[in-house]
A and B are shown apart, each in its own frame.
Chain A
Amino acid sequence: MTEVVAGPRRHVRLRATKEFFSRLFERVGAWVGVAALAFFLILAAIPGPIVGPLETAATASGDFLTPPDSQHILGTDEVGRDVLNVVVHGARISLTIALIATVISLIVGTTVGITSGYYGGRVDVWLMRLTDFFFIVPSFVLALVIAPVFVEVIGRGREVLGFRTSLFVIVVVIGLTSWAFVARLIRSQTLSLRERPFVDRARVAGSSDLSIMIRHVLPNLVPQIAANGALVVAGAIYTETALSFIGLGDPVQPSWGTLLSLAQQAGAASAGAWWYLGAPGACVLTVSLAFVLLGNALDDTFNPRRRAIP
């Protein structure tokens, strides 16, 4: 019986997906977002073949703070490193941190949201109190006090999962502090989903709460998770950049924020070294704008009637 139904249903789903993408790409924002992201993902995936290995103060290829010329198209920094080189390598660090933090944030937010909305009652009240806290205190402010303490607890200079301690801490802390708005959204969707007939049917058929949440509620939340995931990435990039800028990054694995911090410490702004601070900043701006545009386009396509306000 189920196999007979599965064939046409898969067909319907495929057609719906196709239709969705054609509607999505009617929007200019979606195109701009995807193009910018594809560009930076390529940079992040293969920085080596494009600009060679990451330069350090010892392997620096140029003079100190020289403006762009034919040899260094984005100039050099205060120790003579090629800015293009460090910015391309920075793409890898920044995007990896933002994407992993987003995955953590979506997992926590979705779990809290579904649990809260599905069970209701006291569970809902207490989980939402917790969510309120994380909702009103910005991720950056929380990370500001949590990150240094975590670094102290784990110990400096070690590597966890290929990240140096401070980066690993930044990833986890951003993930654990930025889930609140996802949780609120998912909860409100779950509240309406759990009243639907298919949930009752599954319960009558003997499904456990956990399996209803995972097999029946979660698949219906994918649109919300996708659209908000894009916005969470934009937020994560912002938070990572700001945290690294105030000195929580790792100069050995420099993200764009760390580069901006180094530029600030080197007095790049008052020295007029616009190329040094301009390159990483323009990258942050482009990537987070791309995610915002993509998120808005996804949101518009999923709920055409709701106007997207970033």
Chain B
Amino acid sequence: MATCGQGGRTSRRIGGIVLRAIVTLLMVAILNFILFRVIPGDPAGLLLDGSRSAVTSEQIEAQRERWGLDRPLIPDQVLDYLSATAKGDLGYSFKFRGQRVSDLLLDRLPATIALVGVAQIIAISAGVMLGIYAGWRRGGAVDTIATGGSLALYATPSFWLGMVLVVVFSTKLGWLPGYGAYSPGADTGSLAWLADYLRHLVLPASTVALGIMGQYVLVARAAMSDVVAEDYMVTARAKGLTSGQMLLRHAFRNAMLPVVTLVTLNLGYVVAGAITVETVFAWPGIGSLTVGALNARDYPVLQGVFLLLGTSIVFANLIADLAYGLLDPRVTQ
């Protein structure tokens, strides 16, 4: 009976979380639709704009019919848009004429995933270790430096950090490349090519990592300070466990909980940071695609980027909400 009631509550909780994610996702898509419609000028005219030849009203009319622009905005066009979007049809780019937006996004996605993924791994491992140590030895020298440094990193725009790293490590010292993802003329797929790619990845990935590391340090430190004060830590000490054993067996796991949620919840901010960092390093990912689209007023690409980012952020949040219930059984009770 009791387990049945709890199961019902859990599934209701999960249902609520999923429903909220769907509503948010719909809002992303609808905002996207509205934005594209309020741009002055007829979309059909915009479509034909780049052809540079005189456009007749018949041509515009034909375009309007072809793209369904002659039908009522609500509900026909909204539904059309939503169903096309659900099928992965995001329209065609203005700037790269004839190219599908979805192809452009897929083309650029791996570079961004590599950048953000490597940066997250660096930031999580370094940030959590530093934060846990700082929280464990609260008030010590490491704590003071780590907390101050993290606050400073938190307040620093990451792309500026990237520019500073380029000046120091690329221009002045000449250790690492600060531009692009490959050296020209490299043979794709070879081991040398991979090494070259990784060398190009070092500075941008470190930049993104430093940009997010501050938060991980602060959160891990705060969580650790809470854990240290818990009764079970006193018990562990009374049992005669060494500091190392206490840290590994009891403190680490509990201190990781807020970090895990932060990592997933933070995805939007990490990707937002990566957009600007990619610009600094001319990294061929979603970020440089976005900035290029912005400057060329390539609205379909911009809308596609927004949809992609919005969807991944909503999913990351969904995972965070669900994972939180799994990791902390108290949530479901």
Contacts and interface: CB of A to CB of B under 8 A. Distances in A.
B8 to A, nearest CB: 21
Contacts of B297: 148, 152
Nearest to A292: B155
A269 B171 contact: yes
- For the complex of A and B, the 9 pairs showing the least CB-CB separation, nearest first, are A281-B160, A289-B155, A269-B166, A288-B155, A272-B171, A145-B306, A140-B272, A138-B268, A269-B163
Interface in A123-148: 129-130, 132-133, 136-138, 140-141, 144-146, 148
Interface residues of B, number: 57
A89 to B, nearest CB: 19
A153 B303 contact: no
Interface in A219-275: 234, 238, 241-242, 245-248, 257, 260, 263-264, 268-272, 274
Interface stretch (B35-43, B48-56, B58-66): B35-43
B172 A272 contact: yes
B157 A129 contact: no
B122 interface: no
29 contacts: A136-B317, A137-B310, A140-B272, A140-B275, A141-B268, A141-B309, A145-B302, A145-B305, A148-B299, A153-B39, A242-B159, A242-B276, A245-B279, A246-B275, A247-B295, A260-B160, A260-B163, A269-B163, A269-B166, A269-B170, A270-B178, A270-B179, A272-B172, A274-B167, A278-B164, A281-B163, A285-B157, A292-B154, A307-B222
Nearest to B32: A145
B23 interface: yes
A289 B157 contact: no
A149 B39 contact: yes
A136 B39 CA distance: 25
Contact of B163 (A129, A137, A277, A289): A277
Contacts of A206: none
B241 interface: no
Contacts of A136: 24, 265, 268, 313-314, 317
A205 interface: no
Contacts of B71: none
B302 A269 contact: no
B314 A271 contact: no
Interface of B: 20, 23-24, 27-28, 32, 35-36, 38-40, 151-152, 154-157, 159-160, 163-164, 166-167, 170-172, 178-179, 215, 218-219, 222, 225, 265, 268-269, 271-272, 275-276, 279-280, 290-291, 294-295, 297, 299, 302-303, 305-306, 309-310, 313-314, 317
A167 interface: no
Nearest to B219: A309
A260 B167 CA distance: 14
A310 interface: yes
Contacts of B305: 144-145
A152 B155 contact: no
A137 B178 contact: no
Given A144-B290, A153-B40, A264 B268 contact: no
Contacts of A132: 20, 23-24
Which residue among B36, B265, B279 has the maximum number of chain A CB atoms within 10 Å of its CB? B279
Contacts of B27: 130, 133
Interface string A275-310: 001100100110011001100000000000001011
B84 to A, nearest CB: 18
